Amino acid sequence: MARKTDDARLLAAWEQGSIATAATRGAQILATLEGAPVDGPRSDGPAYVDLSLGTVDRLLLEFHLAEFGRALEGYFGCPRCGEELEIEVDIEALLASPPPPPEGPGWRYPTPRMLQIAAASVDPSAAIVELAAGHREAGVAIDETRVALADQLANADPLLDVQFGGTCVECGSQVSTRLDVGSFLVAALGERARRILIEVDRLARAYGWSETDILAMSALRRRRYLSLVGSGHG
């Protein structure tokens, strides 16, 4: 994705990312940006929902770096007082973390599809371990496998569990949160979508053009028309 993504794709990614569940949000954004199905195989690899969560996050971070820059910004609510706290993360520092070791015999990294299935079960954290152990070796007792696997998952991929801490500006509580790259991406896409839709709204009102026609224009041409509308010649 070296080239800047066109505005119609960005709008669609924001829309699909907003309505997706937390489990598949990141995979859905990537699939929409590429125009690929989220749960079907692609020409160059498995379905986005079958990539590891760490791989999905890496791809999202690379997209953000190319499209929105290296500062990943987002908000999370203080669990005690509800105040919205802003955090900013340096994407290049995150991407510099070493790549995770390959999957071991008898376990796989959790994927969005596993998360989605686990979220519907009675005990999601136990379910995710069972799903990740889907290819366990014969003869190994399940309980041993589960314990070993839980340790491996916690330590294997540094991007799987990035925690941020700080002090709430409102109530002074010490708070920490896990980095949710998918929801940060939806926030960045939402800000861009708001600006694009304002432009579409102004041009559609002035000229009666459809959204599709306006989005198909180059940014340069769209801006030229907007300046004409602004100067009263539209």
Q: Are 203 and 229 in contact (CB under 8 A)?
A: yes
In whole angstroms, the minimum distance from the beta carbon of 79 to Zn ion comes to 8
Backbone angles phi and psi of 163, in degrees to 5:
-105, 140
In whole angstroms, the minimum distance from the beta carbon of 76 to Zn ion comes to 11
Give the E-state strand segments of the chain in sequence order.
Answer: 71-77, 84-90, 163-167, 174-178
Could you list the residues that contact Zn ion (CB under 5 A)?
78, 80-81, 83, 168, 170-171, 173
| Residue of 63, 30, 65, 66 whose CA lies nearest to 46 | 30
Helical residues (DSSP H) of the chain, grouped into ranges: 7-19, 25-34, 53-68, 91-95, 112-119, 124-132, 142-156, 181-207, 211-216, 219-230
- For Zn ion, the closer of residues 155 and 173 by Cβ is 173
- For Zn ion, the closer of residues 15 and 83 by Cβ is 83
In this structure, the chain runs to a length of: 234
In whole angstroms, the minimum distance from the beta carbon of 176 to Zn ion comes to 12
In whole angstroms, the minimum distance from the beta carbon of 155 to Zn ion comes to 31
- For Zn ion, the closer of residues 59 and 78 by Cβ is 78
- For Zn ion, the closer of residues 104 and 166 by Cβ is 166
In whole angstroms, the minimum distance from the beta carbon of 9 to Zn ion comes to 37
Q: Would you give the DSSP letter of residue 103? A: P
Tokens of 39: 């749960």
- For Zn ion, the closer of residues 83 and 211 by Cβ is 83
